[in-house]
Chain A
Amino acid sequence: MFLTQVLFLFCMTLSNLSLAQDAEKLLKQSDRARGSVEKGLSWISEVETTEDGQSTKKKFKVRAQYVNAYVEALEPSRNKGEVYLFNDRAMWFFKPSLRKPVTISARQKLTGQAANGDIASTHYARDYTPTLEKSEVVEGSKSFVLLLKAKANNLTYDQIRYWIRESDGLAIQAEFLTLQGKAFKRAKMKYDNKVQGLNDGPTAFISQIEITDAKLENNKSVIRYIEPKLDTHRETLFNVNNLKR
């Protein structure tokens, strides 16, 4: 009897361990299509925001290399030359008229519903602890539902409910949650881009994220990822000391 109980507990522990490993594996896989790769990448991000009936458009050139990213504002012209620099989890804002860059937070609003942390590549596997909650059918595809809890308090979101499609391991939707577990923003992702050279063949890469206010659904930001490609970046590009005037 005792031996049966011990065996049962052992099996349960193994099963939980395996589930956790599965969740992490899923998350790592989905991150790759959102820029979390060691090779250098670059793309253009267009952020279109509709808030309280008014629309604005911004354009950035993103140069990313794993956890580092150099995001340069291209449009509108008043923002031209402004730079957002990501070094691991630290972030800076800089414009040519400043003596020194300003340390900013990833969760600070970039524009509309988009936070600063949404603009560059995503490293959820590094930043969050995933738990596999259930599986669900979303838009005709079977998907795993993961609950991600932040490993640090300086991340873009505290908790995320994340839907990863079973067939290709791509994250297709997300709910950004408050500490109390209430959704305050929702996101839907599309993967119409292909990047050559990441694996053997062309790899699916994110093409659009639509982030909507959970309460006011007309308030939303759409981030479009244009022409993502492999690129080589100088190490010095991501050095904050080079931003000083």
Chain B
Amino acid sequence: MSWTFAFRNLFRNHRRTVATAAAVIAGFIGLLLLGGYIHRVEISLRTNSIYLFNKGHITIFKKGGLERFGTQPSKYQVTPEMLAQIQTILESKKNKIDWIGKTLTGAGIVSDGDRSVPFFATGVDLQTLKNSFVNQDVLNWAIDFLLPGTTGFVQALEANPHSISVTGRLSDLLRKKRPYSNLSEDESYVQLAGMTQYGDLNAVDVKLAVNHSTGSEMLEDSGLLASVETLQELYSLEGFHYIMVYLKDIRDLDQILVELNQNFETNNFPLQAYRFDLPAISPNYAGSMGFLYVMSGFFVFLICGAVALSIMNSLTMGIIERTREIGTFRAIGFTQQQIAVMMTQEALCLCLISAALGTFLSFVISFVVNAANIRFSPPGVTNSIQFILSPNLYLVFVVLFIFLLVVGLTAYLVTTFKLKTKIINLLTDAGA
């Protein structure tokens, strides 16, 4: 009965109801679109980190390898024997695991016989490259991070295991004109040189195949992608920098991670597994998301503050307008609590209607913005990426919950405070 009263009360003062609803709708749209943007960025960066930066959902290093592999690769490599142990452990969870990948990283110089340029190389196994380039999340969310032609690296590696992909800027530094298919056989070969685990200088011939982007401005002058075998040959290593575990469902991450580390500890294996989203594993992901979460926290505070103030203002006006009516309710036996609940219900009804309208408008705005294909270049990222808003039902419920909480609490507290007036004063309209 009180919900019916509350709902009907919304139509008593149209102007005030519309003004309050407008504030709630604006706030709701704001939060939903902000959430939609963060959601898109989070999935893009996560997908980029897991599949295109080759970190996997879980990254396994030899203990200490995360910090020290760069200076002592032979000591901190994950050996083929350790890889076999990892595969044995994961055998029992194979229904949850998509595949296991291998990566080797290293630095050196790339030379075309006339000039040498420093590089930072990532060597990845063919299966990981194959699976990553056709992964549905990559195609849906991180396609902007792939240059046209980058996926051709898989075919190039199948044809010649010594093929490499370099960033556009590294290619320019080597003065190699693209596409590489126009280069003569001799011109397309360059030499990678690096220090082996014995401290010797070593070099291998490699063939320029395609270009890729590292997605990071800092690495764009030196990014090089090769097969893990090419880098093993260059650095005279048998092992890997780290092993990646790709899961079928990201929700299994925590459970598998805990089980893996427990297993390593129980069996005394010198290995350590990490989540992909740690700053030490995916600095790009962790840094960008940390910034976005702080920024969104600030916006949520501002928007909720504005909505709360608007509700406070509307309810105070409502109470002032309806002082005698409230006095009458009190005189016929309604308690302060009951009236406060009824007015809170009125605010909640308004909030629900506004939320429905706000959701509809948010999806319309998102559709228009996404269709407009607005592109931008975030700081530190080489490619331009599409500005996409992707609100979803989960976000709608989260924002709705926040709004119902803010609106309900504000309404209840304001009415409880305002109704502490004597009945006689309410009836004579002299004190509310």
CB proximity to B under 8 Å, residues A86-107: 93, 95, 97-105
Contact yes or no, A98 B109, CB < 8 A: no
Which residues of A lie under 8 Å from residue B198 when comparing CB positions?
Answer: 56, 78
Evaluate whether A109 and B195 lie within 8 angstroms (CB atoms) in the complex, with A93-B203, A95-B203 already known: yes
A69 to chain B, nearest CB (A): 16
B42 proximal to A (CB < 8 A): no
B299 to chain A, nearest CB (A): 47
B111 proximal to A (CB < 8 A): yes
Evaluate whether A102 and B199 lie within 8 angstroms (CB atoms) in the complex, with A93-B193, A97-B205 already known: no
A110 proximal to B (CB < 8 A): yes
B216 proximal to A (CB < 8 A): no
Contact yes or no, A98 B191, CB < 8 A: yes
Determine the interface band of chain B, counting residues with CB < 8 A from chain A: 20 to 34
Select B116's contact among A103, A111, A112, A244, beta carbons within 8 Å. Answer: A103
A15 proximal to B (CB < 8 A): no
Select A100's contact among B189, B195, B201, beta carbons within 8 Å. Answer: B189
Contact yes or no, B199 A111, CB < 8 A: yes
Contact yes or no, A56 B189, CB < 8 A: no
Chain B positions 111 through 125: 1 when the CB is less than 8 Å from some CB of chain A, otherwise 0: 111111000000000
Contact yes or no, B116 A105, CB < 8 A: yes
Contact yes or no, A100 B191, CB < 8 A: yes
A109 CA to B189 CA, complexed, in Å: 25
Contact yes or no, A104 B109, CB < 8 A: yes
A49 CA to B199 CA, complexed, in Å: 10
Nearest B-chain residue to A101, judged by Cβ: B113
Contact yes or no, A56 B113, CB < 8 A: no
A99 CA to B113 CA, complexed, in Å: 9
Contact yes or no, A103 B205, CB < 8 A: no
A79 proximal to B (CB < 8 A): yes
Which residues of A lie under 8 Å from residue B249 when comparing CB positions?
Answer: none
A95 CA to B192 CA, complexed, in Å: 12
B158 proximal to A (CB < 8 A): no
A13 CA to B359 CA, complexed, in Å: 86
Contact yes or no, B199 A112, CB < 8 A: yes
A153 to chain B, nearest CB (A): 15
Contact yes or no, B189 A104, CB < 8 A: no
Contact yes or no, B203 A102, CB < 8 A: yes
Contact yes or no, A110 B201, CB < 8 A: yes
A19 CA to B173 CA, complexed, in Å: 44
B2 to chain A, nearest CB (A): 79
B370 to chain A, nearest CB (A): 49
Contact yes or no, B200 A99, CB < 8 A: no
Contact yes or no, B116 A104, CB < 8 A: yes
B166 to chain A, nearest CB (A): 16
Which residues of B lie under 8 Å from residue A100 when comparing CB positions?
Answer: 111-113, 189, 191, 205
Contact yes or no, B189 A102, CB < 8 A: no
Which residues of A lie under 8 Å from residue B200 when comparing CB positions?
Answer: 78-79, 111
A104 CA to B116 CA, complexed, in Å: 7
B81 proximal to A (CB < 8 A): no
B234 to chain A, nearest CB (A): 11
Evaluate whether A102 and B186 lie within 8 angstroms (CB atoms) in the complex, with A97-B205, A111-B199, A111-B200 already known: no
Contact yes or no, B193 A104, CB < 8 A: yes
A139 CA to B186 CA, complexed, in Å: 56
Which residues of B lie under 8 Å from residue A101 when comparing CB positions?
Answer: 111, 113, 191
Select B109's contact among A82, A102, A111, A244, beta carbons within 8 Å. Answer: A102
Evaluate whether A103 and B115 lie within 8 angstroms (CB atoms) in the complex, with A78-B200, A79-B200, A110-B201 already known: yes
CB proximity to A under 8 Å, residues B169-198: 186, 189, 191, 193, 195, 198
Which residues of A lie under 8 Å from residue B113 when comparing CB positions?
Answer: 100-103, 244
- Interface, chain A (partner B; CB < 8 A): 49, 51, 56, 78-79, 82, 93, 95, 97-105, 108-112, 116, 244
- Interface, chain B (partner A; CB < 8 A): 109, 111-116, 186, 189, 191, 193, 195, 198-205
* 12 A/B residue pairs, CB under 8 Å, sorted by A: A56-B198, A56-B199, A79-B200, A93-B203, A95-B203, A99-B186, A100-B189, A101-B113, A102-B109, A103-B115, A109-B195, A111-B199
